[in-house]
């Protein structure tokens, strides 16, 4: 199988400790390539998508979705198809709902891939990860805490501030916090001082620009925030409007694949450094639910001609990956102010991984060609890096996989 072949650097050019380090790294990559190839034969994988609360048996009581719901089933199928092409023999897709544990047991699943935003309720992005932790099934996905942190824009922005990463000034509002009227709400003055707009008002937990609204002056905040609160039944985030260009950058672990060959970079892999091309007067990037991401809407930054901007985004992404102790892919949404300074809008714990089709793309997928990677390479990178982290740092979680290897 192709997975078993490994590439080696010429060791003659390397000296002493550096040589030892590279040899150790190569040996571990070769070992990992072989582990992944062996696991592909026997490890039973479930790619998990968002369950539908209206399907009988999905939940006890259908409640509410503070986070706009999407099933992500089609993308789960894309991921599953890539895993099969890579060589994984047993791959199924199943919904994330109350039956998850039974389904995993029924199909004798060893390993999961989380491509779900949850079914319903608060913190839904973290529910599947929390259940898998309880079941003792390892997965590609963020820990429950990381997923919940990133999906809550207030918590994430606070953490970003503590980590010294620029993010726009903000406040959070819900009706029990009093009127959102200039002069009557001390939190408004505390967050924004004399600044009177424009503002962005958005759900604290959201996706794809749903319910994200630009408001020109502070006196328009109350009505907009109330509307978003009524739609989401969750606190509303208000932040100052950044009028500059918009960028995205993806970042994942240090093990990546090119043409099926694993490499260890020695640092997190930041890629898909793109500009979101906004129409004139498009203040909020139009939701992909209303306007699919076409290739003319994402422009890959030129690593050489735009090296300053490119390097800033890559450095920002790598340092967030390390500072937040992340263990799998995220995509940062970043926006510049009128001076060109960069601010993080949010970190997406489950960026879109749709395979490219015709004129359609995903933001993450659009950046692969520049890295010499295919979609299948990205999927192999994510599962191989995860297996590496689990086998080197969490052996207790993967003891059931040892028997598959031996
Ligand atoms: N502070 C801001 N300044 C300017 N535009 C913003 C700001 N916050 C959000 N936006 C716009 O709204 C879009 C969606 O906001 P974002 O924070 O990424 O949430 P989500 O993608 O989860 O809906 C962004 O892509 C951007 O176009
Ligand atoms: Mg976003």
CATH number, residue 345: 3.30.470.20
From the CA of 345, how far away is ligand 1's center (Å)?
6
**Number of structural domains, the chain?**
3
What pLDDT sits at residue 14?
A: 58
Domain endpoint, select from 216, 240, 264: 240
Query: Which ligand is in closest contact with the Cα of 68?
Result: 1
What pLDDT sits at residue 13?
A: 58
Instruction: Decide whether any atom of ligand 1 lies within 6 Å of the 157 Cβ.
Output: no
Residues of the chain with pLDDT under 50: 1-9
Instruction: Decide whether any atom of ligand 1 lies within 6 Å of the 383 Cβ.
Output: no
Domain endpoint, select from 240, 260, 290: 240
Query: Which ligand is in closest contact with the Cα of 202?
Result: 1
What pLDDT sits at residue 336?
A: 97
What pLDDT sits at residue 258?
A: 97
Q: Is the dihedral of CA 311, 375, 335, 192 positive or negative?
A: negative
What pLDDT sits at residue 296?
A: 82
Task: Provide the β-strand partners of residue 175.
Answer: none
Q: Same domain, yes or no, for 128 and 22?
A: yes
Euclidean distance between CA atoms 372 and 278, whole angstroms: 27
Q: Is residue 154 part of a domain?
A: no
Q: Is residue 56 part of a domain?
A: yes
Expressed in percent and rounded to 5, the helix, strand and coil fractions of the chain are 40, 20, 40
Q: Are the beta carbons of 100 and 128 closer than 8 angstroms?
A: yes
Edge-to-edge order in the sheet of strand 246-252:
298-300, 269-276, 246-252, 330-336, 342-348
From the CA of 223, how far away is ligand 2's center (Å)?
23
- The CATH number covering residue 193 comes to 3.30.1490
Pocket test for ligand 1, best of 207, 211, 213, 285 (most atoms within 8 A of CB): 285
Euclidean distance between CA atoms 200 and 89, whole angstroms: 47
Euclidean distance between CA atoms 403 and 277, whole angstroms: 50
From the CA of 195, how far away is ligand 1's center (Å)?
19
Q: Same domain, yes or no, for 249 and 352?
A: yes
């Amino acid at each position: 199988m192709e997975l078993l072949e490994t590439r080696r650097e010429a060791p003659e050019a390397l000296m002493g400790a550096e040589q030892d380090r590279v040899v150790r790294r190569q040996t571990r990559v070769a070992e990992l390539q072989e582990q992944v190839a062996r696991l592909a034969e026997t490890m039973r994988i479930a790619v998990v998508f968002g369950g539908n609360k209206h399907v009988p048996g999905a939940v006890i009581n259908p409640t509410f979705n503070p986070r706009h719901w999407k099933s992500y089933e089609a993308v789960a199928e894309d991921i599953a198809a890539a895993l099969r092409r890579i060589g994984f023999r047993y791959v199924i897709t199943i919904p994330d709902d109350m039956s998850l544990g039974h389904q995993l047991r029924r199909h004798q699943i060893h390993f999961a891939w989380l491509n779900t935003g949850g079914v319903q309720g608060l913190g839904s992005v973290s529910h599947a990860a929390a259940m898998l932790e309880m079941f003792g099934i390892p997965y590609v996905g963020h820990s429950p805490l990381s997923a919940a942190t990133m999906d809550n824009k207030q918590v994430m922005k606070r953490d970003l501030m503590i980590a010294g990463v620029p993010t726009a000034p903000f406040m959070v509002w819900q009706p029990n916090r009093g009127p959102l009227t200039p002069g009557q709400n001390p939190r408004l003055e505390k967050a924004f001082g004399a600044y009177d707009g424009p503002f962005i008002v958005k759900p604290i937990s959201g996706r794809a620009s749903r319910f994200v609204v630009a408001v020109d002056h502070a006196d328009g905040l109350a009505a907009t925030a109330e509307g978003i609160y009524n739609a989401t039944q969750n606190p509303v985030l208000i932040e100052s409007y950044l009028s500059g260009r918009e960028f995205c950058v993806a970042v994942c672990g240090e093990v990546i694949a090119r043409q099926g060959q694993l490499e260890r970079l020695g640092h997190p892999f930041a890629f898909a450094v793109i500009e979101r091309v906004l129409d004139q007067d498009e203040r909020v990037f139009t939701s992909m639910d209303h306007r699919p991401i076409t290739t003319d809407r994402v422009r890959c930054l030129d690593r050489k001609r735009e090296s300053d901007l490119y390097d800033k985004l890559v450095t920002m992404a790598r340092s967030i990956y390390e500072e937040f102790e992340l263990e799998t892919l995220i995509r940062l949404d970043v926006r510049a102010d009128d001076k060109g300074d960069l601010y993080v809008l949010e970190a997406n714990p489950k960026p879109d991984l749709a395979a490219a089709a015709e004129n359609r793309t995903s933001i993450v997928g659009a950046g692969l060609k520049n890295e010499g990677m295919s979609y299948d390479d990205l999927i192999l990178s994510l599962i191989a890096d995860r297996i590496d982290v689990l086998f080197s740092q969490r052996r207790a979680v993967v003891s059931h996989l040892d028997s598959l290897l031996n």
